[in-house]
Structure 1
Amino acid sequence: MTKLQGNRSNNMPLIIGTLIAAALIALALFAGRGKSGEQASTASGAAASAKFDLSNKPVVGDASAPVEMIVVEDFKCPACKQFEATVFPKVENEYVSTGKVKVYSVAWPFLAEVAKLDEDDSKYAAQAGECAYEHGGAEAFSAYKTILFRAQEDESKVWATKARLKELAANVSGIDQTAFASCLDNDETLARVEANEEEVEASGVTGTPTVFIGGKKVENPGDYGQLKSAIDAALAN
Structure 2
Amino acid sequence: MPGTSATSASSRAGRPRPDRARRVLAVIVLTAAVVTAVLVLVLGRDTTGGGTAASTDVSTPEAQEPAHPELLALARRDAADPLALGSPDAPVVLIEYSDFQCPFCGRFARDTEPDLIRDYVDEGVLRIEWRNFPVLGTESDQAARAGWAAGRQSRFWQFHDAAYAEPRRRNAGDFSEANLIAMARKAGVEDLARFEKDMASDAAHQAVTRDSEEGYGIGVTSTPAFLINGRPVLGAQPTDVFTDIIDEEAEQARQQKDGDE
Cα distance in 2, alignment partners of residues 197 and 146 from structure 1: 21
* Distance in 1 (alpha carbons) for counterparts of 2:41 and 2:200: 41
Residue 111 of structure 1: aligned partner: 136
**Normalising by the residue count of structure 2, what TM-score does the alignment of the two structures yield?**
0.65
C-alpha displacement at 1:53, in angstroms? 6.3
When Rg is computed on C-alpha atoms for both structures, the one with the higher figure is 1
Q: Distance in 1 between matches of 2:150 and 2:88?
A: 20
Matched, 1:142 2:157: yes
How far, CA to CA, are the matches of 2:238 and 2:166 in structure 1?
Answer: 24
Distance in 2 between residues matched to 1:161 and 1:201, nearest whole Å: 26
* Match status 1:123 vs 2:145: no
In structure 2, the CA distance between the partners of 1:194 and 1:225, relative to structure 1 (3 Å rule), is same
- Number of the residue aligned with 2:183: 168
Number of the residue aligned with 2:62: none
- Find the counterpart in structure 2 of residue 33 from structure 1: none
Contact 1:218 1:230 in 2 (8 A): no
Distance 2:73 2:136 in 1: 22
**What residue is the counterpart of 2:103 in the other structure?**
78
1:216 paired residue number: 231
Q: For the aligned residues, what is the CA RMSD?
A: 2.5
Mapped partners of 1:78, 1:214: distance in 2: 25
Flag structure 1 segments of 5+ consecutive residues without an equivalent.
1-39, 113-119
Q: For residues 140-166 of structure 1, give each alpha carbon's deviation from its aligned partner in whole angstroms, at most 9, with x where no partner exists.
A: 111110101125521253431222211
Greater share of helix: 1
Q: What are the residue-to-residue correspondences of 1:129-208 with 2, within 5 Å?
A: 129-134=147-152, 136-137=153-154, 140-150=155-165, 152-208=167-223
Aligned residues: 189
Alpha-carbon contact 2:98-2:105 (below 8 Å) kept: yes
What is the 5 A alignment of 1:14-53? 42-43=42-43, 49=71, 52=74
Runs (4 or more) in structure 1 with deviation over 6 Å come to none
Alpha carbons of structure 1 residues 41 and 174: separation in structure 2 relative to 1, 3 Å: closer
- Residue 126 of structure 2 aligns with which residue? 101
More strand by share: 2
Identity level (%): 23
Give the 3 Å change call, closer, same or farther, for CA 219–186 of structure 1 in structure 2: closer
The 1-side partners of 2:190 and 2:96 are apart by: 22
State the secondary structure of the residue aligned to 2:112: helix
Which residue of the partner structure matches residue 5 of structure 1? none
Q: Aligned to 2:116, what secondary structure does the other structure show?
A: helix
Instruction: Tell me the secondary structure at the aligned position of residue 118 of structure 2.
Output: helix
Counterpart for residue 231 of structure 1:
246
Measured after TM superposition, the shift of residue 174 of structure 1 is 4.5
**SS class of match (1:111):** coil
Q: Is the contact made by 1:77 and 1:111 (CA closer than 8 Å) also made in structure 2?
A: yes
Shift in Å, 1:64 = 2.5
1:109 alignment partner, SS class: coil
